[in-house]
Amino acid sequence: MNTTGRKYAFYGSILIASLIAPWALSAYQTQLAFLWVMVVFALTWDLVGGQMGYTSFGNVVFFGIGMYVTAIIQRNMHFDIEEYVHVAGAVETLKPSEYLAGLLSGMGLGGIVAVVIAAILGALILGMGMRGQYFGICTLGLTVAAGELASGWEYIGAGSGLVTPVFPDGLGERGAFFYYIFFLLAGVTFITLKWLYSGRFGLAINAIRDDEDKAEAMGIHTSKYKIVAWCISAFFLAIAGGGMGHLIGFIDPTEVAFAGATFGVWMILMAILGGKGTLWGPVIGAIIFHITQELFWTYLFGWQRVAMGALIIGIVVFFPLGIMGWMRERWPERFGYRVEKNSVLNASKGGQV
Amino acid sequence: MDGLQILFSAPIFSLQLIIDGILIGAIFALAAYGMALVWGVMKIINFAQGEFVILGGFIVYTLHKAGLNLFLCVPLAVVALYIVGWILYHLIIVRIVEKDLFISILATFGIAILMQQLMNQLFGADVQIVESKLDTWFFFDGNVTVLQIKVVGFFIAIVVGACLTLFMKKARLGQAIRATAQDARAARILGVDTNKVYASTFALNAAICGAAGALVVMTWVIQAFAGLAYTIRSFMIVIVAGIGNVSGVILAGLGLGAAENIAGFILGTEFQAAFVFSLLVVILVWRNFKLSLKRRYLK
């Protein structure tokens, strides 16, 4: 079989496996739905952190924004706000059509709001040329500030959180419903990023990662590319957040929405585990991480977050290339890099052309 | 904004806030000094700075609960953190010194996560405090109260800071640390064992944080997850003051303490943390704005 045929067979089998997965493993539908969100996390983090080289601790902010916007749209469309807040959500069950309308318009609007906020923050932070450790700490501050502000804002439920409406009858199983939403989202994210990386955009952000000053000197509008990359990341994260809020059913400002200590850390871990700066790396990292995380929960209960911290250190210090990065280093020909024979220099640096 | 009205009708309260803020600000300055030290010498921003502070606090808390004299606990916490820092250096940091930025950011961030979760497991997630049994001073008919322990903590912070400055100026190791900060390669050529200097610097930083943590638990509260705020505060102080500017660090620390206290009073305590973190973002954006202006000017 030629390469194109093999490629189609590969993508086809993934598609089929993904479509039947919730029925084959029906006990794990919610877990599988989470898996696709993890894939979106890792992919969008890798866009900024891996391909562009900006170590961001603040991507989870957009996830939280999407979550809150969707929940608030859903609430304001169908319920009396006062009443809703007082009885913590469960006023009455929505009709399926109402639920869908609120959810989809909320997710769409959440994406737009997140892009606008990302553009403003991007212009202030990235556009002004903040880099490296400063960018890292700044985004870390953003995450915590967002969580603290949300905890103090009465309109969105403040510290006691916000409940999303009960999942209505008539839309099939809850887990499967969200599974397909997130699967679609992860698929669209993957295809968009694959398309972006294959063109000028990908080259530009890789140039920014390798040497930003040189990239700028060569005439690349670095600020523009950086802000656009940040916005794309924000858009998909916000949509994922909108769905996630409804799947979990309860939005806590610091534990669910702006969860720097869980989702915020996981997205980084998944991307570097799979191999930052590669297309498939984050996907593989997300799958492996999600499985090991379940194992951590089962066998290391209470210590799973300790293990998570140790895992980050271990990967960053001893295995910084990640799985895909390591494979690229090991078999550069498979990744389309030409290797000169009998050249010690190329053999040792093969992957990093 | 009720707080603001109170401040206008009774200005004496703002004196209270400023005094409290300055007394706690000295501790912030101490932790920031340690961060500037590691940053200047090793070019690493230690994201786990706050966790060292909290660990120092928990050590004092545990020893004090075991029946030790409170002021004896402080040097013990310093020694314990020195050992922790030394071990961490040889396990992890030695592998990330002089590596690229990405690795050092994420590795120290990983240490921070690991430490907060370990402390959460070992000491619990509750807010802890050590009772000092010292008195309170009253001024202005009791409108301004000053806890004596805060004053004691303030002076301990100053003494520790003074000893450090002296150490850096006079001691052989201090001079080696300063030489490495200026130019690691030149220092190596001139016979300084930079690896040893790095190890001592990192351990020294941890020890400084241990002292700061000991003071925090005496004068304020500690909690397993409160470390991040100290990392952020130290970072803010260092970038406002500049690396290697000791008097700047002290002034910025005291100022931050006072500003935070006043903001917490005006906005309400639930927004005090939000204020600290938003202030960080604002300061960084402002700094970059100034830098970009300078750059435009050079063109």
- Flag whether residue A69 sits within 8 Å of chain B, measured between CB atoms: no
DSSP H/E element including B139? strand B136-139
3-state secondary structure (DSSP) of residue A162: strand
Average pLDDT of every residue of chain A: 84
* CB within 8 Å of chain B, chain A residues 281-340: 302-303, 305-306, 308-313, 316-318, 320
Compare CB distances from A309 to B114, B270, B291 and report the shortest one's residue: B114
Alpha-carbon gap, residue B38 to B34, rounded angstroms: 6
Q: Please give the backbone phi and psi of residue A79, each rounded to the nearest 5 degrees, phi first.
A: -130, 160
Range of the domain at B289: 2-298
Q: Please give the backbone phi and psi of residue B227, each rounded to the nearest 5 degrees, phi first.
A: -65, -40
Q: Which of A61-65, A214-218, A303-307, B1-5 has the lowest mean pLDDT?
A: B1-5
Going by C-alpha positions, the residue among B210, B166, B174 that lies closest to residue B78 is B210
Compare CB distances from B270 to A152, A309, A316 and report the shortest one's residue: A152
The strand pairing partners of B138, in sequence order, are: B145
Q: Is the pLDDT of residue A309 over 60?
A: yes
Write the ipTM.
0.83
Q: Please give the backbone phi and psi of residue A172, each rounded to the nearest 5 degrees, phi first.
A: 80, -165
Contacts B285 to A, Cβ<8 Å: 124-125, 128, 130, 138
Token pair in block for residue B43: 């070019």
Whether residue B106 contacts residue A55, with contact meaning beta carbons closer than 8 Å, is answered with yes
- What pTM was computed for the model? 0.86
Whether residue B253 contacts residue B26, with contact meaning beta carbons closer than 8 Å, is answered with yes
Closest CA of chain A from B271, distance in Å: 7
User: Based on the structure, what is the number of domains in chain B?
Assistant: 1
Token pair in block for residue A134: 């400063």
- Flag whether residue A152 sits within 8 Å of chain B, measured between CB atoms: yes
Q: Tell if the CB–CB gap between A308 and B113 is shorter than 8 Å.
A: yes
Predicted pLDDT at A351: 45
pLDDT tens-digit profile of A77-130? 777 666 666 555 555 677 778 888 888 899 999 999 999 999 999 998 888 878
A132-152 and A96-125 helices cross at what angle (nearest 10)? 140
Greatest alpha-carbon pair distance for chain B in Å reads 65
Whether residue A126 contacts residue A223, with contact meaning beta carbons closer than 8 Å, is answered with yes
Q: Is the pLDDT of residue A65 over 50?
A: yes
Alpha-carbon gap, residue B209 to B222, rounded angstroms: 13
Amino acid at A195: W
pLDDT tens-digit profile of A179-235? 999 999 999 999 999 999 999 999 999 999 998 889 988 988 889 999 999 999 999
CATH number (domain holding residue B196) = 1.10.3470
State the pLDDT confidence band at A301, using cuts at 50, 70 and 90: confident
pLDDT tens-digit profile of B212-255? 999 898 888 888 888 888 999 999 999 888 877 788 888 899 99
Predicted pLDDT at B81: 94
Alpha-carbon gap, residue B224 to B116, rounded angstroms: 6
The predicted model gives A60-69 an average pLDDT of: 93
